[in-house]
Chains A and B, each alone.
Chain A
Amino acid sequence: MRADPKAEVLRYLGHRGQAVEPELLSRIETAMAECRNVARPRRIWRRFTLVRDGSGLLLADAGLILPLNEVGDYLPDARELAVMAVTLGTEIEARIAREQYFDIAYALMLDAAATQLVDEVCNEAGEALCVQTTAEGLYPGSRFSPGYGSLPLELSADLLELLDAQRSIGLSCTDNYALTPRKSVTALIGLFDSAAQAPERDCSRCDMRHNCNYARI
């Protein structure tokens, strides 16, 4: 089931059931609308056949090996792997940066709206992928990203390379693996022979679960 976008934005803003004045709620809605207006969402994915290679999974045609101790939880028995990247572009980032010098409360709302939107764009990409693969009898598992659970942040650089992401969607990363533009995601989705094999997203396995604004526990 898909969460209500506004509820998600409130959650990113740290809302935990407090009373919210109608004026504030309406500003949050304005921020969400403006974010959709300013952002230029772009997405790309590519599918790779997975080959078990000793203690890792080899992405055929790509020369990249994912160590099993990093991805084993998510990709046991996956037949293929979809590598995905999405970004909202630099415009929304510039907009948030400017707003911080005018109205930082509204800047926060824009920032949370952008976080929600990038997640939504990922979901849409995932759905489009699902339509494509289920027609072929392959079932997508949950989406998971570098920097969460056992997947190292450093993997982002390799994924961007595989997607030629700078050229295809204008997404790259810094030496410290920060995605630029900031409102972006890289992700892996395993494609399985049956829906039953596809593991669900599970925050309880993540190292960051106690410290995470986004945890679903």
Chain B
Amino acid sequence: MNIRERLGKEIIIFDGAMGTMLQARGFGPGILPEVINLESPGVITDIHAAYVKAGAMVVTANTFGAGALKLRPAGQTPDKVVTAGIECAKKSGAQYVALDIGPLGQLMEPFGAIRFEEAYELFREQVVAGALAGADLILIETMSSLYEVKAALLAAKENSDLPVFCTMSFEADGRSFMGCDGVAAAVTLSGLGVDALGANCSLGPAALRPVVDELLRYGRVPVMVQPNAGIPEMRGGTAVYITTPAEFAVEMFDMVRAGVSIVGGCCGTTPEFVAAMKSALDGTLPQERHVQPYTACTCETGTVFFDRRTTVIGERLNPTGKRRLQEALRSGDMNYLLGEAVAQAEAGSDVLDLNVGLPELDEPVVLTRATKEVQAICQIPLQLDSADPAAIEAAARVYNGKPIINSVNGKQAVMDAIFPIAKKYGALVVCLTLDENGIPATAQARVEVLNKIVAEAAKYGIEPNDLLVDCLTLTASAQQDQVAETLRAIEIVRGMGMHTVLGVSNVSFGLPQREILNAAFLAAAFGAGLSAAIINPLSEKYRETVDAFRVITGEDRSAARYTERYAGQSAVTSKAVDADASLDDLIRQGRRDETAVKVRALLENMSGLDVIDSYIIPALSKVGERFEKGEIFLPQLMQAAQAAQSGFTVIRDRIVCSDQTGGGPKGKILLATVHGDIHDIGKNIVRLLLENYGYDVVDLGKDVPPSEIVKAVGEHGIRLVGLSALMTTTVGSMTDTIAATRTAGHDCSFIVGGAVMSERYRELVGADYYAKDAMEGIALAKRFFGTP
């Protein structure tokens, strides 16, 4: 019988530790355990057999570290080692053999150098070999990264029909090493279609219990637990586990009573532990579980529940009507988008909508990249927004967590395209209440469209809990009678137990002082039962409405946050600019906000170019000189640079609005941290300064392969490239990059910099210039382009 059919119907007992048993047989830390599958298969089979004899229904093949990255130093490959491991396990006479898949051995992006797509490929090798060798199920375990679990899980499901169980490791503070807690893990993995989810390793059963309770509360599938035999005590340099099999079994029995239905052991456990569990659980059936319905989205480090909080979805990552963002996206520059993302997160967004739809862009590619880059810096969930199902699918695939998809509607073709993606990646879906006949005029008719959508979603196994309903805002100036229909529709939908989402700004189209109307409409929508508002979180008016509403609903207990924000209100609003301070002083002192205000005032009477030439550049130059002389140090330089930048932004926004082209950039420079190097703060400092001095910067980011640099040099007609490396081991990537660019026939020069660089290394890698710090980089750029 396929083990899937037994899940939740009986208690399933896995085995205990392999490593502990190998150590007891004299295999020390210098030996890669998986290689023993090939060298001493009998030993492995004997250990499995001991677990079978103790009562394990499933044995876990000795393939935990049988991925290419971990096997490489031993000169082995996954197919051989996995095949041998499954064979050893099968010979033990176990009812079921699990292909064991542990972490890759390196961190994935954004913290490490392994890309999601590479991780998938590495896991795929193991899955294919394991399925071919006859594994009965796949166990993905001891994972610290939700992202890595997702890559492994997709590899398992797309390359085999085997049941997949996933367990993650959580520390005593309830979070994995990567910051994932039991809630985000359970919500995300349930959506991704695992057959069972759970926790293993790191702690003993008692210490794991709080996380297990979270998993039970939010996991929509059977829950599995494989704890260590307690926390080891170090005795003479070796780890000794002190929990006894009997103590272990008591704790496990308790967990089964709470709803866990798959049990086993991790580090320190032995056949005695399995036997003790087996006898403690004899005759016990799984508890019936009642997982409360919830509507939630996640990222690795957090979960947003729509039934617990008035939710703010930031709307600004969308090029429609935003010239700066359009320009940035067209030139392949993600920095502007990322700046907007962080600004919205800092302003209190719970979720960010992400849309990069421009006709001339390859949207699947750009949305994928934007999803990864925004997730790298913003620890809040995203709402993936596109009219192109291919872009939605590409982004949902690389998204870390349970995303929101924006959107589906009642049109059959759209539902046919979007629902399979939502199901596969476990996303929440925004449902617009319109269909082939347009937006229905009445609330009731919109609900009818919704009913059609709900019924269609059910065909894919998507529950109403995973749908967010958008009742659509119409324009008061054109269809005034329809505005209240939206509110009525929200009330009805909320009454159906579903959650709603709404963009409000349409309501004021064509009317003056739009924020007044928008804020009132937002308040009315909240009153009607709206769960999530798609708004500009930087707008003071919206924030006030949201903050006030959270007091009214009681989410903001004792109005603590409200008081914190508004008690000092008078002081905040009267943050007048020191009238006597010159722009020069403001920049020198790094006063960002005041610099912007001052520049705005100057623009009343002079052109942007004059402000730049007469005020900002001289101020910056003075600061730069003082830095070079050692009179100020780096934080002071950077504060001044940021103040100057806020002035430039005011001017640039003005120029974009008035459709002038401005002075034009002084030259275009490409920046990158080289392949293999993941440090980028230094490069980012250089970028800001170059932009301050009027250069157009194409920033390719960190860990950039030579081929991408060569490509960008050609596409942008680059003549000067700045390369950064922090480590001696990545200096070689500079050599490769420079050689590749020159081989490709591009006539461009290279500046190199970074912690390890020196004049000697410059010569070694074949670069033209070495900059010891950011200001020297500016000086070199000026000389190169012959600019003042």
Contact = CB atoms under 8 A, between A and B. Distances in A.
A14 B633 contact: yes
21 contacts: A18-B631, A62-B30, A90-B177, A93-B111, A94-B110, A94-B111, A94-B376, A98-B377, A101-B342, A102-B343, A105-B638, A108-B638, A153-B727, A154-B729, A166-B103, A170-B178, A178-B679, A180-B678, A208-B756, A211-B758, A213-B755
Nearest to A61: B28
Given A153-B729, A170-B178, A176 B677 contact: yes
Interface string B371-392: 0000011110000000000000
Interface in A90-146: 90-91, 93-94, 96-98, 100-105, 107-109, 111
A167 B619 CA distance: 52
Contacts of B111: 90, 93-94, 180-182
Task: Choose among B631, B678, B758 the residue with the greatest number of A CB atoms under 10 Å from its CB.
Answer: B678
Interface stretch (A40-48, A70-78, A196-204): A40-48
B568 interface: no
Contact of B106 (A104, A162, A180): A180
Contacts of B680: 100
Contacts of B176: 170
A100 B699 CA distance: 14
Given A13-B635, A94-B379, A153-B728, A105 B642 contact: yes
Contact of B377 (A47, A94, A172, A174): A94
Interface stretch (B121-129, B425-433, B579-587, B681-689): B681-689
Interface of B: 28-31, 103, 105-107, 110-113, 142, 144, 169, 171, 173, 175-179, 201, 237, 301, 335, 338-339, 341-343, 345-346, 376-379, 589-590, 630-636, 638-639, 641-642, 676-681, 684-685, 688, 726-730, 755-756, 758
Contacts of B755: 211, 213
Contacts of B237: 46-48, 61
Nearest to A101: B342
Given A89-B177, A169-B177, A182-B679, 20 more contacts: A14-B634, A24-B635, A24-B636, A47-B237, A62-B28, A102-B339, A105-B638, A108-B634, A108-B681, A109-B635, A147-B727, A164-B29, A170-B178, A172-B107, A174-B107, A174-B676, A175-B113, A176-B676, A178-B678, A211-B755
B29 A62 contact: yes
B112 A63 contact: no
Contact of B681 (A28, A40, A96): A96
Contacts of A167: 142, 169, 201
Contacts of A109: 635
Contacts of A181: 107, 111
Nearest to A154: B729
- Nearest first, the 5 A-B pairs at minimum CB distance are A170-B177, A63-B30, A105-B638, A176-B676, A176-B729
Contacts of A64: 30
A180 B106 CA distance: 8
A173 interface: yes
Nearest to B108: A180
B178 A61 contact: no
Contacts of B179: 89-91, 94
A174 B106 contact: yes
Nearest to B341: A101
Contact of A104 (B169, B685, B730): B685
Interface in A1-55: 13-16, 18, 21, 24, 28, 40, 42, 46-48
Given A102-B343, A170-B178, A180 B30 contact: no
Given A18-B636, A101-B342, A176 B144 contact: no
Contacts of A162: 29
Contacts of A172: 105-107, 112
Contacts of B335: 101
Contacts of B726: 178
Contacts, number: 165
B676 A175 contact: yes
B177 A101 contact: no
B377 A97 contact: yes
Contacts of B144: 170
B370 to A, nearest CB: 13
A102 B335 CA distance: 11
A188 B521 CA distance: 64
Contacts of A96: 681
A100 B682 CA distance: 10
Task: Choose among B29, B169, B632 the residue with the greatest number of A CB atoms under 10 Å from its CB.
Answer: B29
B345 A98 contact: yes
B635 A90 contact: no
A170 B111 CA distance: 12
Contact of A24 (B639, B684, B728): B639
Task: Choose among B341, B377, B678 the residue with the greatest number of A CB atoms under 10 Å from its CB.
Answer: B377
A18 B342 CA distance: 32
Contacts of A178: 113, 676-679, 726-727, 729-730
A174 B678 contact: yes
A180 B107 contact: yes
Given A46-B237, A211-B756, A177 B110 contact: no
Contacts of A108: 634-635, 638, 681, 685
Given A105-B638, A182-B678, A177 B727 contact: yes
Contacts of A101: 335, 338-339, 341-342, 377
A108 B634 CA distance: 9
A62 B532 CA distance: 56
Contact of B642 (A42, A103, A173, A182): A103
Task: Choose among B106, B112, B589, B727 the residue with the greatest number of A CB atoms under 10 Å from its CB.
Answer: B112
Contacts of A169: 177
A97 B729 CA distance: 23
Nearest to A28: B635
A98 B345 CA distance: 10
Nearest to A213: B755
B37 to A, nearest CB: 19
Task: Choose among A61, A175, A178 the residue with the greatest number of B CB atoms under 10 Å from its CB.
Answer: A178
Contacts of B177: 42, 89-90, 169-170
B729 to A, nearest CB: 4
Nearest to B113: A174
Contacts of B376: 94, 97
A96 to B, nearest CB: 7
A170 B110 CA distance: 15
